[in-house]
Structures are given as structure tokens and as C-alpha cells.
């Protein structure tokens, strides 16, 4: 019962902050995809700061390797919870990014409007949708803006460290000669379990940056190298969902 009440409180804060930043997102949308988009992400970081503070969640970035800053890069993260969204905003402070997001999320009222403005949306149900997102990501990288995506495509609801990866991120890395930097989100499973949206709990959040992996091999080898790096990191840091 206490958890349910806390979750209602948490969602009230979430919705309130959405309403507060919405007018500024609308204004920013008139300044173009690059300048306006970068400003929207600053707004989203403020949103994440307030939301996580009110939820009693303290976020920490841990660098096993320096975060790539001065060149375009593809950041890949493990995906296990809706709460990964504010965690990503905390992980990538002071850096211009665009997150690849599922088209279905754009249907959520209010949040969906902001979501459409700040993400590169992908509709994996159609070949046309997948190709469109690939072309959009290439344009983003050409502007020296980092891409952030989950190669698993959706939540990992297994007891294994990771699900199987899609090929998209690795194809783009090879075609654009862009390095990939893995990032581990360690605590989404415990802060808001995928089994219920009414499972938000206070506590810690950690994002762990692993060394960059250069695209100097073929697709399968690159994908496996990234998978192995992330799997090893999740095991070393005792990810709580691994059984």
C-alpha cells in the first residue's frame, strides 16, 4: 500500500513537471532541429533533476573510461525500465544528444508531444520506418551530435544480463565510421520494475561508462564486442536482475 501511494505521488510530480516545461518546449520548437532540439534537452535535464530529487533518487555517473565529448559517438545502454528516461538525462549532462525512441511512446498525452520533439523515433514494425530512423540518425551524427539508443530494442524481461541486440546501431557505426560507447544503467530494475508502473522506490541510480569500441571490424564482430563488454560490466557490478 505504501508503495502504491508513493507511486501516485511520484506520477503527480512527473505530470506536473511535464505541464511546466511544455510551453518552453513549444517555444524551442520554432528554433529548428539543432538549436531548438539542444535547448529541449536542457529542459528535459531540468525535468529529470526535479523529478528524481522529489522521488528520493540520487544519481551517480561512474567512469570506467572517459565519456566521449568532442566527437560524434553512438552511446548504447541496457534497457530495463521506463525510469531509464530520466536516468539518461542525468547521465548525459552538458552534452548534445538525441535519443532513439519507440514510436508507440509518442501516443502518450502531453508526454508524447515532448517525446516527438526530442527523440529520433523508430517504427520497427515496418521496413520504411526502420530505414527512416537510420537516415535521421546519420543526419544527427553528421552534425556532431551523439546518438543514444538501446540495442535490445525493448525491456530486458529475462534473468540474463542482456537480450539479443538488433543490428541497427552497429550498421550505422560501420557506415559512418562512428565509435560506440556502452553505458550501463544499473538500477532501473530496482527503482521502477517493468512488472508495474506502480513500483517506484527511492534509492540510488548509477550510470557506468565503459571504454569506446571502434568500428574497425564487421557487423557481427562489432555487435558481439559491444555485447560482451556490457555483459561483463553488468556481471562485475552485480546487476540485480541476473539470476
Neighbours of 235 (CB within 10 A): 11
Q: Which three cell numbers stand for residue 175?
A: 557506415
Identify the burial level of 179 via C-beta atoms within 10 angstroms of its C-beta, where 0-12 means exposed, 13-18 middle and 19 or more buried. middle
Average pLDDT along the chain, 243 residues, taken 10 residues at a time: 85 92 90 90 95 98 92 95 95 92 73 78 73 86 94 94 94 95 98 89 97 94 98 98 94
Where do the H-state alpha helices sit in the chain? Answer: 2-28, 37-55, 84-91, 111-118, 127-142, 168-176, 188-191, 219-236
Res 86: pLDDT: 96
Res 8: pLDDT: 92
Q: How far apart, in whole angstroms, are the C-alpha atoms of residue 180 and residue 68?
A: 9
Res 181: pLDDT: 98
Q: How far apart, in whole angstroms, are the C-alpha atoms of residue 168 and residue 153?
A: 10
Q: Phi and psi (nearest 5°) for 177?
A: 55, 50
- The answer to whether domain 2-236 has CATH 3.90.550 is no
Identify the burial level of 43 via C-beta atoms within 10 angstroms of its C-beta, where 0-12 means exposed, 13-18 middle and 19 or more buried. buried
- HSE (CB half, 13 Å, CA atoms) of 113? 13
Give the global pTM.
0.92
Return the H-helix or E-strand segment holding 101.
strand 97-102
Res 1: pLDDT: 67
Res 111: pLDDT: 73
Amino acid at each position: 500500500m505504501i508503495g502504491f501511494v508513493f507511486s501516485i505521488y511520484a506520477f503527480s510530480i512527473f505530470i506536473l513537471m511535464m505541464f511546466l516545461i511544455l510551453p518552453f518546449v513549444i517555444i524551442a520548437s520554432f528554433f529548428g532541429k539543432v538549436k531548438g532540439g539542444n535547448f529541449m534537452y536542457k529542459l528535459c535535464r531540468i525535468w529529470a533533476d526535479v523529478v528524481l530529487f522529489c522521488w528520493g533518487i540520487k544519481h551517480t555517473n561512474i567512469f570506467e573510461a572517459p565519456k566521449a565529448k568532442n566527437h560524434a559517438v553512438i552511446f548504447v545502454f541496457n534497457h530495463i525500465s521506463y525510469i531509464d528516461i530520466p536516468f539518461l538525462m542525468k547521465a548525459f549532462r552538458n552534452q548534445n544528444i538525441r535519443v532513439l525512441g519507440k514510436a508507440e511512446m509518442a501516443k502518450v498525452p502531453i508526454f508524447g508531444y515532448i517525446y516527438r520533439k526530442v527523440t529520433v523515433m523508430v517504427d520497427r514494425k515496418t521496413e520504411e520506418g526502420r530505414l527512416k530512423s537510420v537516415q535521421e540518425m546519420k543526419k544527427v551524427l553528421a552534425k556532431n551530435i551523439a546518438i543514444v539508443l538501446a540495442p535490445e530494442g525493448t525491456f530486458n524481461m529475462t534473468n540474463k544480463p542482456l537480450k539479443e541486440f538488433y543490428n541497427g546501431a552497429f550498421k550505422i557505426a560501420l557506415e559512418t565510421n562512428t565509435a560506440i560507447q556502452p553505458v550501463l544503467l544499473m538500477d532501473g530494475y530496482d527503482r521502477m520494475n517493468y512488472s508495474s508502473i506502480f513500483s517506484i522506490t527511492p534509492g540510488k541510480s548509477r550510470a557506468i561508462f565503459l571504454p569506446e569500441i571502434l568500428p574497425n571490424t564487421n557487423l557481427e564482430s562489432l555487435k558481439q564486442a559491444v555485447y560482451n563488454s556490457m555483459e561483463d560490466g553488468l556481471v562485475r557490478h552485480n546487476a540485480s536482475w541476473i539470476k
